[in-house]
Copies of this chain bind each other. A is one copy, B any other.
Amino acid sequence: MTIQPRNFAREDGVLRFETVGDLTLESGEVLPEVTLAYETWGELNHDASNAILVLHALTGDTHVSRGLVGDDADAKTRAYAETEGWWAGIVGAGAVIDTNKYFVVSPNILGGCNGSTGPASAAPSSIDPENKPWGSRFPQVTIRDTVRAEARLADALGIPSFSYVIGASLGGARSVEWAATFPDRVRGCAVIASASSATADTIAWGHMQNLAIRQDPHFAGGDYYDGVAPETGLALARRIAHTTYRSAAELDFRFGRDVQPGEQPLTSYNTGRGRYQVESYLDYQGEKLVKRFDANSYLAINEALLTHDVARGRGSLRQALEPTAHCHWLVAYVDSDRLFFPSDSHILASALPHPVEPQVIHSPSGHDGFLIETGQVERILRQALAEHSEREEENRGVPSQVAAAA
């Protein structure tokens, strides 16, 4: 494969768009004229060997870290670029994913609502002469589908293979699927607080969230873009999800049975009784999400998570991962995670061609520990990236000791 690197003036943390063409999905349907939104940081080196792919979680987006724009950038672009990213401590100049060293690429997932083609996107004229939003017509996309779209983005950017593909939570589902689908293009793979497949428990929680949205009367089967958005349903879905993101111990420690200031829980139950603090906290989480996320995208991505199974059509999990023998693997879990359990990481790590010991992120906070325990994530990633670089240099015939001594 001959890949021509894309030429663009370096502007970090700026939303870009790539049209990757028609995509034949796992379901057999064709999604026409697919666009992926993405951001980059740093520069691709001369042999295009320094690219790192960072894959966001369910309601994440492309803005992993602050950007850097030229003097001629407009105010909106500048404001966007300078907004704090969701993994600020991990990606940046001098951070463990050092944008002075690596070319970092962060694509928005297929079906998302942060620039990539999703249910809220205008349907192309071949589907709808009026170019109304896809809505209920948007087809099911799987984790494997988005990975295949992302591979086309890598083609366009001139990246034959990634030094490391890194994802946590649903992003980890994306990263392990990347390694199994394109073993020649993934030299290192980090799967953090995630799993090789969505288990029955994951499916159960996802199912309830999806129903919460669908049962909102404003959902209208998915075609609500001309009316009121199904915000109460989406907010309920978020409350369910958020509770699985946090450990019971953390909720108890932070909120206990405390009463929301100014409210009174001991009042009649059907006439607006006051709330406990933890109820108010979950309400707030729901309200925050509906302001920034499309309910159909939530469904599309959550449904994609339910389909996640790196072994589908590939035999056993071990067989599915067999082609990744050369890949440097990092598997890590949060010890208090009640969404993706430590056992999920052990299952993946022990099915690798060269089994690894999963790394532990110690946290009282549950699943969200991957976002909260930045210091530990940083240390684990630093060790993995250093070991990986060293091995790659050795394999190039430049022993790192010699290089260091020179």
User: CB within 8 Å of B: which residues of A?
Assistant: 26-27, 29, 119, 135-140, 142, 197-201, 203-205, 207-208, 211-212, 215-217, 221-222, 232-233, 236, 239-240, 243, 248, 251-252, 254-257, 265-271, 273, 275-279, 282, 296, 299-300, 303, 306-307, 309, 338, 341
Contact = CB atoms under 8 A, between A and B. Distances in A.
A200 B256 contact: yes
B212 A243 contact: no
Given A140-B268, A204-B243, 20 more contacts: A26-B266, A27-B266, A136-B270, A138-B270, A139-B268, A199-B251, A199-B256, A200-B255, A201-B243, A201-B252, A203-B257, A204-B282, A207-B276, A207-B278, A215-B216, A215-B232, A215-B236, A248-B338, A248-B341, A265-B306
Given A215-B215, A309-B257, A269 B204 contact: no
A243 B268 CA distance: 28
10 contacts: A140-B267, A197-B257, A200-B257, A208-B240, A211-B236, A215-B216, A215-B236, A248-B341, A270-B296, A270-B299
A200 B276 contact: yes
B248 A199 contact: yes
A216 B219 CA distance: 12
B252 A200 contact: yes
Q: Tell me the dominant secondary structure on chain A's binding face.
A: helix
| Nearest 3 pairs of A and B residues by beta carbon | A201-B248, A200-B255, A200-B251
A307 B208 contact: no
A307 B251 contact: no
Contact of A303 (B139, B208, B257, B269): B269
Contact of A279 (B207, B212, B300): B207
A138 to B, nearest CB: 7
Given A222-B270, A307-B265, A236 B208 contact: yes
Contact of A270 (B197, B207, B221, B306): B221
A27 B140 contact: no
A342 to B, nearest CB: 11
Interface centre among A199, A255, A300 (most CB of B within 10 A): A199
B266 A200 contact: no
B257 A204 contact: no
Contacts of A255: 200, 203
Contact of A208 (B203, B233, B239): B239
A207 B267 contact: no
Contacts of A279: 203-204, 207
Contact of A300 (B208, B248, B269, B278): B269
Contacts of A203: 255, 257, 276, 278-279
B266 A204 contact: no
A140 B266 CA distance: 7
A232 B255 CA distance: 30
B273 A200 contact: no
Nearest to A239: B208
Contacts of A199: 248, 251-252, 256-257
Contacts of A119: 270
